[in-house]
Amino acid sequence: MKPRPPAGPPSASAVPARLRPHLALLASFLIVFAAGYSLGLLSSSTRPPSPSRPSQTTAIARPHAAHLSAVPAAPDGSYARSPPHDLFRFKEECGEPVPGDAVVRTLLDKLFDGESPYAGFPPAHAAALLHPAAARPRGWGSTGAVFAELIAAVRPAVILELGAFLGASALHMEAVSRNLSGLSPPPAILCVDDFRGWPGFRDRFRRDVPPQRHGDALLLPQFMANVAAAGEDAVARVLPLPFSTASALAALCDWGVYADLIEVDAGHDFHSAWADINLAWAVLRPGGVMFGHDYFTAADDRGVRRAVTLFAKVKGLTVRPHGQHWVLSPKPPARGDDDAR
Ligand SMILES: C[S@@+](CC[C@H](N)C(=O)[O-])C[C@H]1O[C@@H](n2cnc3c(N)ncnc32)[C@H](O)[C@@H]1O
């Protein structure tokens, strides 16, 4: 009988000769790894806190930008997580009022080098691209009863529309006000729109807008063609202001261009509607009325409705739903106006 080998781990001599060089390599790797790991642990527990990295108890690092220096610091030197309240406030006072009958001339001078944008319109290159002007361009609730009702009640000298698209509601207001007896001269109708539409709008409006050219949506020339087709009165009174609502409203406020009736129908998400309503309120004359579209439509997604409802609450106004539209109670006189009388 052969003697049994002793029990226990196999000695180097027990490992087959062909594996022995690999065993040495593995042993050296384990030693280097263990040493590196211990050194890392040691250094991380002894390093002082980095001045450039706030510890978890510091809310936000001190801002370096000068414009943020107004952010109030808490006693411990940290900064509030919410932005300062003045960023949420809207300007409420605008420039000395331009008389209603001088508004179009003022805007032609300020924005169009003193010349009507309709002069010589359309140029040959645009004419070749445009759709035949539509007598009644497509819109959304653009001929609702609310327009005639408010124009008759307010008898505006200046109407401001935010969101004009192809001119459906602007041209309806032009026709209504032209035919309203006793409203003389008929109002100027200022149409603020960046004339870019929104991503994908073309899919639904292939019959109404020409194919874009070099990224230009061509909404402005199509809007102008529709106005021009409505006649000279429309050309004289319906003025496109081809800018974002925020920049146009800021300029109107600075220049003292006020409106008696304002229709809000541009961006329909909460933030756009909220900004538009607040900025436009500053250029609404006391006694004037603001109204808008999409209080109850599916397109609203409650953005417009929530903005209107919140605004009314903040200002102490009432909201009157009117079909798809909303109408705010008239703007009260400015504080101090009553005392002056
Ligand atoms: C619903 S359409 C207006 C429809 C028009 N009121 C009618 O009844 O025919 C909305 C328009 O608002 C414009 N718009 C959206 N956001 C805007 C912004 N921030 N500034 C300027 N125009 C904007 C779009 O280009 C679009 O033409």
- For residue 262, the CA-to-ligand 1 centroid distance in Å is 14
**For residue 16, what pLDDT is reported?**
61
Structural fold of domain 145-340: Rossmann fold (3.40.50)
Ligand 1 proximity of 169 Cβ (cutoff 6 Å): yes
**For residue 2, what pLDDT is reported?**
39
Task: Note the helical H segments in the chain.
Answer: 20-46, 103-111, 124-127, 145-154, 168-178, 219-229, 232-237, 245-255, 270-282, 303-315, 337-340
Indicate the domain borders of the chain: 145-340
**For residue 338, what pLDDT is reported?**
52
> The pTM is what?
0.77
Burial class (CB in 10 A: 0-12, 13-18, 19+), 315: middle
**For residue 51, what pLDDT is reported?**
37
**Dist. CA 306–CA 136, nearest whole Å:** 31
H/E segment holding residue 262: strand 259-264
**For residue 189, what pLDDT is reported?**
98
pLDDT < 70 stretches in the chain: 1-80, 135, 297-301, 336-341
Closest CA to 108 of 99, 98, 117: 117
Ligand 1 proximity of 134 Cβ (cutoff 6 Å): no
What phi and psi values does residue 62 have, to the nearest 5 degrees?
-60, 125
Q: What is the DSSP letter of 156?
A: -
8-31 per-position pLDDT tens digit = 444 444 556 666 666 666 666 666
Q: Which of the listed residues 196, 220, 249, 324 should we mutate to test ligand 1's pocket, taking the one with most ligand atoms within 8 A of CB? A: 196
**For residue 73, what pLDDT is reported?**
61
Closest CA to 283 of 92, 87, 103: 92
